[in-house]
Structure 1
């Protein structure tokens, strides 16, 4: 971990740990992909399906604005009932009513689903969205960019080349993107390196072509509760999946050492807890992620760590010995008054 911390200080000098005030909005849970590790989705026709109205989404953004937020991260299922014009009208409406909020919306797999519905290429879909105000594309749906594993856990999601291609298209249009990685599917260390290598090679190509590329890399362990994948891996086999804090921190450190072309490594406190996030800062992470004003996908899988406000994130950073710094989705710093912590020596409890 010392080597990773040293590399972090070379790539991102100083003692700052950044964080973002935003809101996750999961606008629909209707999905046809049926990922085995997802507890959030409902198939079309299920009694528990929903799709939020424009007004419901706008109200959530207004609540974010009231606490000084700067971005929404909006993702949902692959909903075959929603046509491209619905998405374009939504983006235009949100851009008009919330001009200061960055709209980072729709994962590559959602873009692929929209393209199939409207019979356009994914590039054409992205271009139309960019033209009406889309700011960026979330990194969801990557999981592991190893096709044998993808075929096992998400057979309808498609190969790794699809995710990489759509991200490359988004980057060529100037959209802000991030790279993600879910571990704990029983993959080998070689599989994890293969995943990161594909991302690093795309980043090299994107930067060479004069584009921003991925702003950050975020990894987290798969959640085993309340889903088919968890039921399939009950009992002692869970230990073989290696999703605990030690393995997670090791992966954070390796990712910092591996990515010489992605500056920002994010700690995943929503899945690991604030205490492990503090340890991740010493394993090479330089970012605490977002406040997660709302989150429905990870929490549906059984974790109870998906809520923290801005003051809690500031205190987590302070107690680890770093300086909290508020940012936007492009890592531009935003002026902020850091709330003093009268119990600065206290350690955030480690959550198992």
Structure 2
């Protein structure tokens, strides 16, 4: 029996654990929907038209859950040319896109001058495009290889036109989990530090979580608690995005073959509790890319108020076996189908157009 929950009060870690383990899916959907309406009374569900550009697939971090990365000497490793990147942006502009989510592997040879030149080139040639780019581990490594501070990296890239940074690389904010699935990756404190530094210079970010590897429910809640604490401190997170581990072609699946795919029930349960726990996060995004369009739609009844990106291009999750796709018209139809009001937004969650 689940203890009664008052959505007007901050959820404790023990209450969140009780909900994950014991609440019915129906109860969770009801509570999360009530919290969502409290935060978004106009029942507007947003989406953004953007493109993921993976400027390189070269990476030395060797995350066991990743099927995308290559080593520098691999035949199919690459660094995109400016012409290739420009073509991708021009294609995005043709369909009314507003944002580039640019991420790569952690390339061992690319220093701050490469990134400054890249950002300046894009920002100068396409000033109408918002650059929401470079994960915390990329920022950390650029600082390390360039022998400058992380704050200086952020300031220099911001000066060239970087608007915000995505929450990639969080996975689960537990060093115990990270030591198993990505032992070369930055630790929890450093991930949080990069985001804190970004917030300190007025640069907004997002927070993410990838569940479904070796973590416990308690570690999931610890992840939420760490980002909730930082949000209390800085107010710099715009949104929370959660998705399930996609195992195809990954070393982690080879090492732990009995890892089970995460069910839709599990995804919706965690999504609903995240909406209740992360009371200081204005936006929760549905992960239709990993869940499929219909569970992505159902997520709107479990706390999500944003369908995320139309994702003109996605390579990282696709490399691990998830190949769902959806265009703008399909998003609008799915939102209307659940009785909500669709709206196209920009990176700052400002509404550009209602439908």
Same fold (TM over 0.5): yes
1:181 to 209, 233, 252: 209
For residues 244-293 of structure 1, give each alpha carbon's deviation from its aligned partner in whole angstroms, at most 9, with x where no partner exists: 11000001100000011001000000000010011110001000000000
Instruction: Give the SS at the match of 1:23.
Output: strand
Residue 321 of structure 1: CA displacement?
2.0
**1:15 equivalenced with 2:38 (yes/no):** no
Instruction: Give the SS at the match of 1:179.
Output: strand
**1:223 equivalenced with 2:246 (yes/no):** yes
**Structure 1 unaligned blocks of 5 or more:** 208-212, 339-352
2:166 to 114, 138, 153: 138
Q: Give matches, 1:153-232, under 5 Å.
A: 153-207=181-235, 213-232=236-255
Q: Name the counterpart of 2:85.
A: 57
* Residues 135 and 175 in structure 1, CA contact (< 8 A), matched pair in contact too: yes
* Residues 213 and 259 in structure 2, CA contact (< 8 A), matched pair in contact too: no
Q: Name the counterpart of 2:13.
A: none
Q: Name the counterpart of 1:263.
A: 282
Q: Distance in 2 between matches of 1:151 and 1:185?
A: 12
Greater displacement, 77-86 / 139-148: 77-86
2:268 to 246, 249, 260: 249
2:147 to 110, 116, 119: 119
Q: Give matches, 1:262-281, under 5 Å.
A: 262-281=281-300
Q: Distance in 2 between matches of 1:301 and 1:321?
A: 33
Q: Distance in 1 between matches of 2:177 and 2:245?
A: 13
Q: Distance in 2 between matches of 1:204 and 1:295?
A: 32
Structure 1 moving runs of 4+ over 4 Å: none
* Residues 46 and 342 in structure 2, CA contact (< 8 A), matched pair in contact too: yes
Q: Distance in 2 between matches of 1:178 and 1:159?
A: 18
TM-score, reference length from structure 1: 0.91
TM-score, reference length from structure 2: 0.90
Q: Name the counterpart of 2:33.
A: 5
* Residues 335 and 342 in structure 2, CA contact (< 8 A), matched pair in contact too: yes
Instruction: Give the SS at the match of 2:259.
Output: helix
**1:318 equivalenced with 2:346 (yes/no):** no
RMSD: 1.0
Instruction: Give the SS at the match of 1:138.
Output: coil
1:238 to 237, 255, 259: 259
Q: Name the counterpart of 1:210.
A: none
Instruction: Give the SS at the match of 1:334.
Output: strand
Q: Distance in 1 between matches of 2:353 and 2:247?
A: 39
* Residues 223 and 230 in structure 1, CA contact (< 8 A), matched pair in contact too: no
1:36 to 59, 64, 68: 64
Q: Distance in 2 between matches of 1:214 and 1:136?
A: 10
